[in-house]
Each structure stands twice: as C-alpha cells, then as structure tokens.
Structure 1
C-alpha cells in the first residue's frame, strides 16, 4: 500500500512536471485551439487544478476558500453531475482568465492540498488523490499531443523543444511471436493503482495466433503509400473509405511531401522522416487498411495483453481490433467520478501500451486507452497479428 508521504511526494512531482512541459511555450501558445479535440495548454493547467479543488478540497477541507467561483464553469470538462461548463469547442475563446491567473490558481490549490495532506490521511481522500494524480498524468500526455497539434498546424511549423525525442530505441529485426491457444486471464490483478475500466479480471479463450515483436515503421508505411494504399477502396472499411475521400487523406498526420521527399513535423521541428522509426499519428481506419495490405490484421486487446511480455512496448499507443466495452462485473463508481470511463464505452476502439508522450509511473500492461476510429492526433501506431 502506498504511504501518505509517498503519495504527497508523487502529487507534488506530478504538479511540477505539468508546468515543466509548458516551459518551452510562448505566451501566445497557451490559448490556441485549432480543432475540437485539442484543448489549449492553459485549459489543461486549469482543469487538472480544478479536479483537486472540486473533488478533494471542497469535500475534505472545511476551511478551504474557493479561488474563483467562475473556475468550475471554465475548467469542468465533461462532468454533468458537477454543473454547467464551457462547451468543449469554445475553450480556445478563453482569453481570460489570463495565463498568469491560471498559474496563480495552480499554486493556490497545490499549497492548499499540501496543507490538507499534512493533517489528513483519510482513506477516501487518499484514494481520490491517487486518481487525481493519474488524471493529471493523462493530461500531461494530452498536453504534449495538443501542443504538437497547435505547433504542427502553425504555418511556420515552429519547434517545441530539442529535448523531446519521439523515437529513442534502436530498431529491432522483425520476428513473429507464436502464442498458443488456451485460456488467459485478462485485467488488473494487483494492489497497485489502476483505472476502473481495467477491473473485472476474467478469463478469455484465444485461438493460436502470431504477433509481431515490432511496430510498423515509417519505411513500411511509405511502401503502402507508394502502392496506392489510400486509393484502393478494397483495403478499407466503408466508413474509413468515406473518411479518406471526404478529408483527402493521403498520408499520416504531420507528413508533408516536399520536392519529391517525405518530411514530417515532430516536436523538434520539420525533418525528413526517419524511416526506421515506428509510424505514428495513424487512425484506426489507416491501421486496419495497412493490415489488410499486408494480409494481416490487428490484434485484439486480449491477444495484446496475453502476448505483451514477449515484446517491448511504450513507444506508440497501439490500435487493437477490440471495441471499448466493460469487462464482466465492471462497476461504475457513484457520483461524478463514475463519469470518468463508463459513459464512453460506445463507438470507440481500444488502444494498448503507452507512448513516448506518456509520463513515468502511469502505464501498465492492463491499461486501456480508447479513441474514436478517425482520430490520429495522439501518438498512435500499428502492431500486426495473424
């Protein structure tokens, strides 16, 4: 069981890391929202702070004074049971509160939390604190991906920072790993933290299958492009083909063909694609079509979990062929925290693993991420099965 002191240290470390991610930004970067899926960095800073104010300080600290009565409306995300909120698409209109005031809000709440935790080790408080820490870590990953979208859609394609490496492993030789048919246990099974959508450990039966020990590379995906993969309707789901046609999709997000050469925007700026790096910013539609092109398929999330100990993962979120659904005996929490995962279990696909944008101490083999099939601003990639 994690101790109170360790949890407090974890909380303070997490709060500092969020602000460190924003250090390379210019003040003008904080409020930009190019599309509905991308939230301005300033909003992330405020929302992750509001979470602690709303679910911990207002509940457990009888002496707490709310920083600003408007901030619950401004920084609530999707918690219907908490009250009204700014429409998601309008977050980029929040020129006020200022960045300076949002940072003041963060520091005010962090101090109040630190003070509360020095005198209160209530078990319910610590449980919500741990959820809040991992909630902020989720937003650290979203913050980086949103920053990339903001800067990657700026006509000047400015770099975020030189220190962030989008691929930091030596390429491996591709091998197929054989997994025997049988009954496998799926789901979280330890005293360590997990989200509620990982619970309901259960058995599944899997047929024999093979899974690649490596992710699909830019070089392999470039072969798909050169073979007119985006023009062959036979490779795509009908909905995926409509998406390609309506949006004129012909390459992964952030790829640019310039004078016959392929470049991509990464957080250190525009550069020629690194052909041995794993392809990223791929939709489920594209992942499925590429698998069809290779006469393979995507693994199910259960196959991925059963096989994950046999390969390295963590460079890209990996699309699976599984719909995002509750496990057997899944129980949604009462109140607002019950809105965290359960209400999104429809019309989404599961991604497994983690990515280069995922912060430390946050992921595990049972972690279930989920996105709609057309989305690709996250660091998503492809692992093949057959």
Structure 2
C-alpha cells in the first residue's frame, strides 16, 4: 500500500503540472511559469541538425512503419511495480498494421484546421460534433490568434507563436479521431500501441519527461532516423481507439484498493505513452492511462495508424 501510495503521488505531480498550466491560462495576462531561457531550449538534437525549435520550423514528413501481425502478450511482464489495471497478462491476436514514426505535429494539425476540419461534420463522431459545435471549438485548447491572424499558443513561457514542429497536444479524443479520419487513417488500438512499443523496443530513457523541465512537448530532432519509431514514451499521452475496460481475468481487489482503478472502467478511453508532465520512473509500455473522450487539459496528442 505504501508503494502504491508513492506511485499515486507521482500521478499527483503530473496533475499539478497540468493544473497549474490550466489555472495560469485563465489569467488574461497569460503569465509565464518558467523563464524563456537556455534552460527551456530543447536538447534532443545534434548541433548539425539545425534549429528545429523555432516557430517556423517544420518536422520531417512522417513515415509509415510496418508491425507484423500475430499473437502477442499484453500487460505488465517485467519485474517491479504495476497497477492492477495492467494485469493479468493475456494474449491478443493483432492483424498486421502500420504506425507513423512520430507524433502528429502542430503543422500537421494546422492543415486540418485550415481545410475546414472543424466545420465538416463527416469527419466527426456524432457526440464529438455536437460537443465541438456547442463549445465553439475551432482549434486545440490553448491555441488563439492575434490581431494579425497569427496562431499563438499558451505554454509554460506564456503566450508565444505556435511551434509548428512540436507535437500537437491538448486535444480531445473526438478531435484526435476527426483528424485521423480527415487524414485517411485511424487511431491505434491499445493492443496495437503496446505491441508496437515492444516491437520497436521503446524505453523511457532520453524522452521528454517532468524531470526534463520543459513542461511542454518538444519537436523531434530533424536528424531522427525515419526508419525508427520515435516519441512513443514521453512528450504526449497518445489517444487510442480502445475503451478502458478490465483485461480478461481481472479481479478487482477488496476494499479501498479496489476503488483505485476498478471503479473507473466504463465510458473512458485508454491513452498510452506518458507525457512531458509524467515522472520518468512512473512510466512503462504496459501503463494504461484513461480519460473521458471530451477532456483536453492533459497533454494529450495522437499518432496515426492504418
């Protein structure tokens, strides 16, 4: 119970980072949380890779990476702590699929906006279309335009020009799915995501986490190998097209421990991968996060599958 409490405290560390951002964003002066100085500049690129962090820089086009089909084991399979919702380990049949090698960027998503994605109902699930219309959504949370029509985004350093190469974040499941439909693709299932993470041997090392101190998703280095899968762990929680349900054979613990995850296993969607607000030691490839489809305040992004 003590160990569970420590991991729960790490979840609160992440929630503090995202809650502070949201609270500060409601201040009309758009105050900064950290200084825009050398500490806040990305370090995920070699000096030869060029300046990929400037607002106008764009990422390389995403590539499609094949993942072979087969029967795979899903769930926590290593030594050490896991939450009960990561168990028991079970087998799933996964058909061959392809996954993009990076997260969808702000530049990618801006094309969806400029193509009228928020005004075309055919890309949206019914509930999402009703919600977006009712709330007047025209862009991700924290995006706005200035008097000159330039896109801005509120972040830890205040209001600044939109960084096109950075991963898009703070979008709902409905927006992620609508973008995927518009792009002629789809969201991966959580079994596909975990299968891919194991296939590409994703590890937390070198990712963008809470300890990195950026408090914001960072662009992928321009010299990143297009044949490898990047950003699977860190930067953004990735929406999947999987309902948050118990694994086959799951038994809810008795008493208070059974309240921790079991009571939430309905009407929510699974997210995978962790974010720039997640402590590095908290994450693993079997970790299951979950939110309602309309939520945007967390660092939620997407990766395309087909």
- TM-score (normalizing by structure 1): 0.65
Q: Structure 2: how far apart are the matches of 1:237 and 1:165? A: 38
Q: Tell me how far 1:192 sits from its aligned partner.
A: 1.0
Q: Structure 1: how far apart are the matches of 2:185 and 2:104? A: 12
Q: How does 1:1-386 map to 2 (within 5 A)?
A: 128-162=1-35, 165=40, 169-170=44-45, 174-258=62-146, 259-309=148-198, 310=200, 311-312=229-230, 313=232, 314-386=234-306
Report the 3-state secondary structure (helix = DSSP H, G, I; strand = E; otherwise coil) of the residue aligned with 1:361: helix
Q: Structure 1: how far apart are the matches of 2:40 and 2:262? A: 34
Q: Is the 8 A contact 1:298 1:383 kept in 2?
A: yes
Report the 3-state secondary structure (helix = DSSP H, G, I; strand = E; otherwise coil) of the residue aligned with 1:210: strand
Q: Tell me how far 1:144 sits from its aligned partner.
A: 0.3
Deviation per CA, 1:243-298, whole angstroms, max 9, x where unpaired?
01100000000001112100000011110011000000010000000000000000
More helix by share: 1
Q: 4+ residue runs of structure 1 moved beyond 6 angstroms?
A: none
RMSD: 1.5
Q: Tell me how far 1:172 sits from its aligned partner.
A: 5.6
Unaligned runs of 5+ in 1: 1-127
Count of paired positions: 259
Give the structure with higher Rg (CA): 1
Q: Structure 2: how far apart are the matches of 1:264 and 1:167? A: 17
Report the 3-state secondary structure (helix = DSSP H, G, I; strand = E; otherwise coil) of the residue aligned with 1:178: strand
Q: Is the 8 A contact 1:172 1:214 kept in 2?
A: no
- TM-score (normalizing by structure 2): 0.82
Assess, with a 3 A threshold, how the Cα gap between structure 1 residues 361 and 344 changes in structure 2: closer, same or farther.
same
Q: Structure 1: how far apart are the matches of 2:41 and 2:11? A: 18
Q: Structure 2: how far apart are the matches of 1:374 and 1:166? A: 31
Match of 1:16 in 2: none
Q: Is the 8 A contact 1:198 1:366 kept in 2?
A: yes
Assess, with a 3 A threshold, how the Cα gap between structure 1 residues 347 and 202 changes in structure 2: closer, same or farther.
same
Q: Structure 1: how far apart are the matches of 2:60 and 2:250? A: 38
Q: Structure 1: how far apart are the matches of 2:289 and 2:121? A: 28
Q: Is the 8 A contact 1:284 1:373 kept in 2?
A: yes
Q: Structure 2: how far apart are the matches of 1:279 and 1:167? A: 16
Q: Is the 8 A contact 1:167 1:315 kept in 2?
A: no
Q: Tell me how far 1:234 sits from its aligned partner.
A: 0.2
